A and B are shown apart, each in its own frame.
Chain A
Amino acid sequence: MSNKKPLEEGYFVIHEDGTPALLGSYSKAADQHYFPVRKQCPITEEPVETVELPTEGELYSWTYIYMPMMGATQMGAAGHGVGQIDLPNGVRVQASITGEKGDWEIGMKMKLDLQPIIKKGDTELCTFCFSPA
């Protein structure tokens, strides 16, 4: 069993083997995927179903922010990367990205990962992030 849990429910799941998957919506009427989960299709206003999204994509853009992520909980780090990742189903996701400035190139393959934010007892509460594949 993983001792990692989502910081908030509804954005992603962590499977038994510890791998994460983002939760999105699929609209059959529009044949479009969305992230995060939508209450209905924003194009057709028809119902959507909740689905797991692909875990790999391409880096559309990135930046390096010269301050720690999540403020005090990550103090000690000089800064952190943030990126936009295009998934193969057309969804663009914004997330923190692992590595240092100089590690990223637009168009490179990225895969979904977990980023611990807070530790509560033995459990690490995580958000999602992407890492170079």
Chain B
Amino acid sequence: MKEDVYVIGVGMHPFQRIAPPLRDMAYTAGKAALDDAGIKFKDVGALYNGYLGANMLEGISFAKDFGLTNVPITHVENASATGSCAFREAVGQIEAGRCEIAMALGFDDMMKMGMDMMKMMSGADPKIENIILPAGFFAMWATRRMHEYGTTEETFAKIAAKNWNHARYNTMAQRQSAHEVTAEEVLASRQIAYPHTSKMACAAGGGAACAIVATKAIAEKLANGRPLVKVIGSQSKSEHYTNGHIFMGAVVGPSELTTVTTKALYEESGIGPDDVSLVHVHDAFPIEELMYYELMGLCDEGEGDRLVAEGATSIGGRIPFSTDGGLTARGHPGGPTGLAQIWDATQQLRGESGKRQVEGATNAMVHMMGAGSICIMHMLQRAG
């Protein structure tokens, strides 16, 4: 029998360009989530650690900082979707009735991983598959979009500026501007890969995030007057062959992957695009967020630019995206990124997001891509 699943606790260590040791950040995020849930680590029935760049067995080692409890510990990795994958595995444990409380903990430092990548690419043993930098893949997607629909650099800049400004009120965000960021400022920043500039690129850094899920009985017992947050959909898919399929150095996968996963999520959760209150996506560059407006069915094909022009995807708009700043400004350390989305979505549904609050938030959709080849999505719902 499939058990209902609820998010009972979330916690983060701030995402930062220069980050403290992984062990410290993992403990901070995990302890914050345990405190948020009002439980002890001994209550946790399964722990999933999500990381890409930590050393072998570090997840097991870090767990000892919480306690020695016989809890089963599993390391998961799915590129950028690692944290989302850890969350999904924790959800699956509750659904299957294997435990009553499960914890997903993500930690990473992309700056250290980035240095390793640069060494690999500039070293004495370069590989053909590594020749194109990730920024190049997203930029080619953007150039094609401009060719097909007349999308302008200004549209990309507006999306990025919107996310920078959402992050101004997120104390966990890596990029917290002291002033309102304008599209002109984004356009004037350093060029990375045409048409993208440095202020459009996701913020690479370190950080940690954690989410704890439980059965309905546990969630109700621990609610303490707060609204419950129910996981009403969990989907994970890998790619399917499509025309023009690229096998080498994917990073940006087939657009169809997000469409197929979103449809399955809508079907599972029983709600449609008109019912979604806010969305988190893998917005490594603004071309992604723009495309996902359409691929998720939140507007018609080719209409994404209009959504941006109308401010529909800003907080206060019809369908706010990246309400914590997204990968652009909250940051993208790797393993914790998908769990940071859960952190914000949960707080939004509880009504705890302060100046970032989406009024009346009822359903939050979260989406992450892993190497362009894995798509993991969840739908969370305010459940009273």
- Chain A positions within 8 Å of B, measured between CB atoms, are 7-8, 11, 34-36, 38, 42-43, 60-67, 69-73, 82-84, 86, 90, 92-96, 101, 106, 117-118, 127-128
Contacts and interface: CB of A to CB of B under 8 A. Distances in A.
A101 B139 CA distance: 13
Contacts of B136: 63, 65, 82
A42 B245 CA distance: 11
Interface of B: 118, 121-124, 126-128, 131-133, 135-137, 139-144, 147, 190-195, 241, 243-249
Contact of B131 (A38, A92, A127): A127
Nearest to B135: A65
B122 to A, nearest CB: 3
7 contacts: A11-B128, A61-B143, A63-B140, A66-B191, A71-B118, A84-B246, A92-B244
Contacts of A61: 140-141, 143-144, 147
Given A66-B191, A93-B246, A94-B249, 13 more contacts: A36-B247, A38-B247, A60-B244, A63-B142, A63-B195, A64-B194, A66-B190, A70-B126, A82-B193, A84-B140, A84-B246, A93-B248, A118-B124
B113 to A, nearest CB: 16
A64 B122 contact: no
B244 A127 contact: no
A127 B136 CA distance: 17
B192 A117 contact: no
B239 to A, nearest CB: 10
Given A7-B128, A8-B128, A63-B139, A106 B118 contact: no
Contact of B194 (A11, A63, A69, A84): A63
Contacts of B195: 63
Contacts of B137: 94
